[in-house]
């Protein structure tokens, strides 16, 4: 037992090393404590074969992957995961004070451990793609391939220089959503700014509105995607196959992120489909054909 520094009246030569070890031990204990508090992700598995893990966007969550899973499960064990931020929003529970991208990454790791999945093909969309990217570059031995659809790791842009005014304005707007309760008016504004609905259309008149309204609390994460930091060096050393998916007409800064990742990943290819920020949904058949071919090519390469 190392006593607190304040209790040591007469410092000794080796006290500096002792207190450094004490600090490291306390930090390690804090990290382990925080990780033990992170719950598992809700999951749905179908089919059999090699595992394919699907991470959704941060708004309506895993609903977006249902039609894809039905097709992919014909030849794979497809595991749809729900982001904690979406699940907490649906239950009107507060985000924990320690919530972050790393919180979701820890939940992903713990969930795959619980599923006894040693290796898997990993695919994510938007916020889910950011989480998938972070997990993959820190755990490359557990990833067979990585598919990122319209990913949002803004730290990738920062690796090339300061963020543009357009990106900073986007961050500033998202900070206004980091409240205990996202209102109907905030949701209406979000659908226009995010490009889900034209400016002259009231989203409440659309058939998607009940689902959007039900999931509005998912937006409480605010600018969490902007605040996450990671390592471009880890991207450069990730040698597994990577498929990067752009959507025609999506935000230019999201395409800029993909362009940087395409340059930095050693084994990446880029494809583009119509559909704005949701190309895998709008162009689902074309996406599935290219995605399954990518997975097959990965198997042949091995």
Give pLDDT, residue 38.
Answer: 96
- pLDDT tens track for 66-85: 999 999 999 999 999 999 99
Under DSSP, is residue 71 helix (H, G, I), strand (E, B) or coil? helix
- Is 227 within the bounds of a domain? no
Question: 52: part of which helix (H) or strand (E)?
Answer: strand 51-55
Give pLDDT, residue 27.
Answer: 42
Task: For residue 28, give its domain range.
Answer: 1-6+14-37
Under DSSP, is residue 248 helix (H, G, I), strand (E, B) or coil? strand
Q: Are residues 73 and 148 in the same domain?
A: yes
Please tell me the pTM assigned to this model: 0.86
Give pLDDT, residue 223.
Answer: 97
DSSP 8-state code for residue 180: S
Q: Are residues 21 and 55 in the same domain?
A: no
Q: Do residues 149 and 280 touch, judged by C-beta distance below 8 A?
A: yes
- Is 199 within the bounds of a domain? yes
Structure tokens of 263? 């340059």
CA angle 158, 102, 258 (to 5 degrees): 40
CB count in 10 Å sphere of residue 3? 11
Our count of domains for the chain comes to 3
Q: Are residues 170 and 292 in the same domain?
A: no
Give pLDDT, residue 192.
Answer: 87
Distance, C-alpha 15 to centroid of its chain: 43
Q: Are residues 192 and 57 in the same domain?
A: no
Consecutive sets of 10 residues in the chain, 302 residues long: mean pLDDT of each? 53 54 46 68 96 97 96 97 97 95 98 94 98 98 97 97 95 94 95 86 95 97 97 98 95 95 98 95 97 86 55
Q: Are residues 70 and 181 in the same domain?
A: no
- HEC assignment per residue over 77-135: EEEEECCHHHHHHHCCCCCCCCCCHHHHHHHHHHHHHHCCCCCEEEEEECHHHHHHHHH
- Rounded to whole angstroms, the Cα distance separating 125 from 106 reads 18
Q: Are residues 115 and 238 in the same domain?
A: yes
Q: Are residues 33 and 117 in the same domain?
A: no
Q: Are residues 75 and 170 in the same domain?
A: no
- Is 224 within the bounds of a domain? no
- Is 156 within the bounds of a domain? yes
- Rounded to whole angstroms, the Cα distance separating 51 from 48 reads 8
Structure tokens of 283? 């162009």
DSSP 8-state code for residue 37: H
CA angle 168, 255, 183 (to 5 degrees): 50
Give pLDDT, residue 234.
Answer: 98
Give pLDDT, residue 117.
Answer: 87
- Is 228 within the bounds of a domain? no
Q: What are phi and psi of 100, to 5 degrees?
A: -165, 180
Give pLDDT, residue 193.
Answer: 85
Q: Are residues 243 and 278 in the same domain?
A: yes
Q: Are residues 25 and 172 in the same domain?
A: no
- Rounded to whole angstroms, the Cα distance separating 49 from 63 reads 22
Q: Are residues 76 and 149 in the same domain?
A: yes
Point out which residues pair with 44 in neighbouring strands. 80
Give pLDDT, residue 257.
Answer: 97
Structure tokens of 26? 């306390």
CATH of residue 126: 3.40.50.1820
- Is 225 within the bounds of a domain? no
Produce one character per residue of 207-220: b if its CB has 16 or more CB atoms within 10 Å, e if not. eebeebeebbbbbb
Over the Cα atoms of the chain, what is R_g?
A: 21
Q: Do residues 83 and 41 touch, judged by C-beta distance below 8 A?
A: yes
- Rounded to whole angstroms, the Cα distance separating 131 from 148 reads 10
- Is 226 within the bounds of a domain? no
Q: Are residues 247 and 190 in the same domain?
A: no
């Amino acid at each position: 037992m190392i006593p607190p520094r304040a209790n040591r009246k007469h410092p000794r030569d080796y006290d500096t090393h002792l207190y450094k070890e004490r600090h490291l031990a306390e930090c390690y204990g804090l990290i382990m404590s925080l990780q033990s508090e992170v719950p598992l992700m809700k999951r749905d598995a179908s089919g059999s074969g090699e595992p394919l893990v699907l991470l959704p966007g941060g708004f309506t969550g895993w609903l977006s992957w249902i039609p894809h899973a039905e097709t992919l499960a014909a030849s794979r064990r497809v595991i749809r995961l729900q982001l904690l931020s979406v699940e907490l929003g649906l239950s009107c529970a507060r985000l924990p004070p320690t919530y972050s991208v790393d919180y979701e990454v820890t939940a992903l790791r713990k969930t795959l451990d619980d599923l006894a999945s040693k290796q898997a093909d990993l695919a994510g969309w938007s916020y889910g793609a950011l989480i998938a990217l972070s997990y993959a570059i820190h755990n490359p031995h557990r990833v067979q391939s990585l598919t990122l659809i319209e990913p949002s790791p803004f730290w990738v842009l920062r690796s090339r220089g300061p963020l543009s005014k357009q990106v900073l304005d986007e961050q500033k707007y998202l900070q206004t959503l980091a409240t205990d309760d996202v209102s109907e008016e905030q949701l209406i504004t979000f659908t226009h700014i995010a490009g889900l609905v034209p400016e002259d259309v009231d989203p409440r008149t659309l058939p998607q509105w009940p689902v959007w309204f039900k999931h509005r609390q998912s937006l409480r994460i605010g600018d969490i995607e902007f605040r996450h930091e990671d390592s471009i060096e880890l991207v450069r050393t990730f040698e597994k196959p990577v498929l990067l998916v752009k959507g025609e007409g999506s935000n230019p800064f999201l395409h800029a992120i993909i362009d940087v990742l395409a340059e930095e990943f050693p084994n990446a290819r880029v494809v583009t489909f119509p559909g704005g920020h949701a190309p895998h949904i709008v162009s689902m058949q074309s996406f599935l054909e290219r995605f399954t071919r990518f997975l097959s090519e990965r198997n042949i390469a091995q």
